[in-house]
Amino acid sequence: MLQSPLWSGALPAPKSRYSGRMESVRIDKWLWAARFFKTRSLATEEVNKGHVQVGANKVKPARELRVGETVTVLQAQIARTIVVKGLSGQRGPAPVAQALYEETADSISARLAQQEQRRLRVEPASAIEHGRPTKRERRKLQAGLDARWSATLDD
């Protein structure tokens, strides 16, 4: 068997990001693993929309995230500021996911204040005096709209 002078016969050890401790992970993968988003594609979409910031900068989904960085995630019009405590590229149980980050005290108080405001907000349906229209009332409303917004030409 012929051997190449460039090949010594021994294969080098495979370089794997997951052997040992991780130094960094893609932000979209981390957001999915930390259970901020249900799927990784949703996490990627939100990052692309600009709803995720590292520090004060908008990022791309391939941005490598490291322990100790501050991430701001906008979910359902609520901004959450978190500090990365651990890295994971795999989605696991919720208690493990919650150990990957810590929400800042300012973020928690702002989120609770927003929840309280939403709870005290006036219900839009309460502005309707008599509730939903009945079938007969809907027909009257529709008849009035049909006569008013007719597509036929008037002679």
Q: What is the 3-state secondary structure (H, E, C) of 67-116?
A: CCCEEEEEECCEEEEEEECCCCCCCCCHHHHHCCEEECHHHHHHHHHHHH
Tell me the pLDDT tens digit for each residue of 24-69: 999 999 999 999 999 999 999 999 999 999 998 999 999 999 999 9
Tell me the pLDDT tens digit for each residue of 136-153: 988 888 887 766 565 566
38 or 118: whose pLDDT is higher?
38
Tell me the pLDDT tens digit for each residue of 71-115: 999 988 889 999 999 999 899 999 999 999 999 999 999 999 998
Asked, for residue 6, whether it belongs to a domain, the answer is no
Asked, for residue 2, whether it belongs to a domain, the answer is no
Are 84 and 101 a contacting pair, CB within 8 Å?
A: yes
Q: How many domains does the chain have?
A: 1
Distances in Å between the Cα of 21 and the Cα atoms of 11, 25, 27, 94, 140 are 23, 11, 17, 21, 69
Residue-number span of the structural domain to which 92 is assigned: 25-120
Tell me the pTM: 0.66
Which contacts qualify for 35-39: CB closer than 8 Å, 24 or more apart?
35/91, 35/94, 35/97, 35/98, 36/73, 36/75
The CATH number covering residue 114 comes to 3.10.290.10
